[in-house]
Amino acid sequence: MPTLICPDVLVDGTGAAARRHGCVVIDDGRIAFVGTRQELDAVFPKRHGWEEIDGTGASLIPGLIDGHAHLTIENKDDESYPGTDAPREAIALYTLQAAREAMAAGLTTLADCGSIGDVLLYVRDAIDQGAVVGPRILAAGPSVTTTAGHGHYLGIEELADNADQIKIAIRKLVFRGVDFIKIMATGGASDPPTNRYREQYSEEEMRVAVEDAHRLRKRVVAHVNATQGIVNSVRAGVDALAHCNWLGPEEGSVVYIPEVAQEAGEKGIFVDLNVFATLPRIADRDGEVFGWEGPGQVEHRFDLIRDMERRGCKSYFSSDHMGRNIATFPKALVAACHTLKLDPVEVIFRVTGRAAEGIWLQDEIGTIEAGKAADLVLLNGDVAESIEALCDVRAVMRGGRTVVQDGKWVRL
């Protein structure tokens, strides 16, 4: 039986302006109709027996997408985490709880960019098979990294220190059932000895990784802090640049290369931008900017990403959060909206329609359009006027089924 929702405000995730008093019909887990009340009456004059969800005083948006999370590891202050050395069963239970808390906050899709062993693959499959209710999960599994490289605790068991080893590692990951490949092209901040200001893989090694992953129909997300890692990844043709810090070879400098940004745009490469890291002033966080040719000054890393977008790149917002902390992503989006002076509709677009495109699911989710899966969130208030409504969830729908209502689980 179809379900009807007529919210006061409809933000459809395409980037278009909010609509007032639109109507959405859901049937068999998918969006069957989007339009005005007048159009609804013309298309469906008889609606006897339909379920109707009250949208009075509410905004309807697509389910939020976090394109970069880490479900199997903990936020440092989370005492409920069993530890990376705990039995895999204990980590799986924690992971499922983290995923469900994120979903209750409006995150209906999570792309996990590095997890412990095969734990997340089992959790993903349990959700997909209907054994338990949870968000849609895309899993990279363990990251591809060098010996003692960035995220080594999330790294695959096999060595991946040269081109041949990288190919073997990717093939084994695909055989194990990962949805995409995450490769650490540079060092990172969480493990300083890896040196986030330098690359871990050469351009040729990155090219081998991309070619083999694409042969196996998997997208490639490259962790890139250092500028040289960005250069190598862009020339190799990765699908997304995670973080995209443009850090110079020594601490205290940001080296932006417009020509590389232009090449990234021409190749259709996405930027996976973790929101929290772009909120501080770039001079305070990373240092002096070199190579900037754009208008005005670079105040935040987002200014560099805007210039990349002018050159053809696309970017989506992500959290890079861990474990149960992923559920705080909407709060980070509120902060980004204010700090970066963005329109709330643009913020929502960057974590719905644009994010779906970035993770290769634009035909299935991300926008409120006929034919798409009915992953939807009903918010109290007018989110187009006040982004704070993003943190006031009335209901969450996954595949047309209401799973969370007023903070309580409807289906377990």
| pLDDT per position as a tens digit, 299-320 | 999 999 999 999 999 999 999 9
pLDDT on residue 412:
66
CA dihedral 315, 252, 145, 354 (to 10 degrees): -10
Rounded Cα–Cα distance for residues 330 and 104 (Å): 11
User: Under the phi-then-psi rule, with left for phi > 0, alpha for psi from -120 to 50, and beta for the rest, what region is 105?
Assistant: alpha
Q: Is the pLDDT of residue 93 over 70?
A: yes
Q: Identify which of 198, 242, 197 has the alpha carbon closest to the alpha carbon of residue 219.
A: 242
User: Under the phi-then-psi rule, with left for phi > 0, alpha for psi from -120 to 50, and beta for the rest, what region is 53?
Assistant: beta
Give me the mean pLDDT over the 346-351 stretch: 98
pLDDT on residue 157:
77
**119-131 pLDDT per residue, tens:** 999 999 999 999 9
Q: How many Cα atoms occupy the beta-carbon half-sphere of 82 within 13 Å? A: 16
pLDDT band at 153 (very low <50, low <70, confident <90, very high): confident
Give me the mean pLDDT over the 338-351 stretch: 98
**278-290 pLDDT per residue, tens:** 999 999 999 999 9
Which DSSP helix (H) or strand (E) runs through 36?
strand 30-36
- Residue where the block lists tokens 């409120």: 368
Domains 3-62+364-409 and 64-358 share a fold: no
Rounded Cα–Cα distance for residues 189 and 92 (Å): 26
Give me the mean pLDDT over the 214-236 stretch: 98
Rounded Cα–Cα distance for residues 273 and 51 (Å): 39
User: Under the phi-then-psi rule, with left for phi > 0, alpha for psi from -120 to 50, and beta for the rest, what region is 99?
Assistant: alpha
pLDDT band at 43 (very low <50, low <70, confident <90, very high): very high
pLDDT band at 295 (very low <50, low <70, confident <90, very high): confident
What's the distance, CA 231 to chain centroid? 23
pLDDT band at 399 (very low <50, low <70, confident <90, very high): very high
Token digits of residue 116: 């412990």
**325-340 pLDDT per residue, tens:** 999 999 999 999 999 9
Amino acid 344 reads P
Rounded Cα–Cα distance for residues 29 and 27 (Å): 5
Give me the mean pLDDT over the 100-122 stretch: 97
**Which of 97-111, 140-154, 243-257 shows the lowest per-residue confidence on average (mean pLDDT)?**
140-154
Cβ atoms 102, 123 nearer than 8 A: no
132 phi, psi to nearest 5 deg:
-150, 150
CA 220 → CA 74, 272, 352, 378, distances in Å?
24, 12, 20, 33
Rounded Cα–Cα distance for residues 32 and 374 (Å): 9
Give me the mean pLDDT over the 108-127 stretch: 97
Q: Is the pLDDT of residue 19 over 70?
A: yes
> What are the strands of the beta sheet with 136-139, ordered from one edge?
64-69, 107-112, 136-139
Q: Give Cβ neighbours of residue 255 (< 8 Å, ≥ 6 apart).
A: 227, 246, 247, 248, 249, 290, 291
Rounded Cα–Cα distance for residues 32 and 30 (Å): 6
Query: Rounded to two decimals, what is the model's pTM?
Result: 0.97
Taking all residues of the chain, what is their mean pLDDT, rounded to a whole number? 96
Token digits of residue 204: 């040729």
All structural domains of the chain with their residue ranges = 3-62+364-409, 64-358
pLDDT on residue 203:
98
365 phi, psi to nearest 5 deg:
-140, 180
pLDDT band at 74 (very low <50, low <70, confident <90, very high): confident
Give me the mean pLDDT over the 163-191 stretch: 96
pLDDT band at 155 (very low <50, low <70, confident <90, very high): confident
DSSP secondary structure letter of residue 324 = G
pLDDT on residue 130:
95
Amino acid 267 reads K
pLDDT on residue 294:
84
Q: Is the pLDDT of residue 76 over 90?
A: no
* CATH no., domain 64-358: 3.20.20.140
Q: What percent of the chain has pLDDT over 70?
A: 100
pLDDT on residue 260:
98
Token digits of residue 160: 């991946």
Cβ atoms < 10 Å from Cβ of 385? 12
* CATH no., domain 3-62+364-409: 2.30.40.10
Q: Is the pLDDT of residue 355 over 90?
A: yes
DSSP secondary structure letter of residue 405 = E
pLDDT band at 154 (very low <50, low <70, confident <90, very high): confident
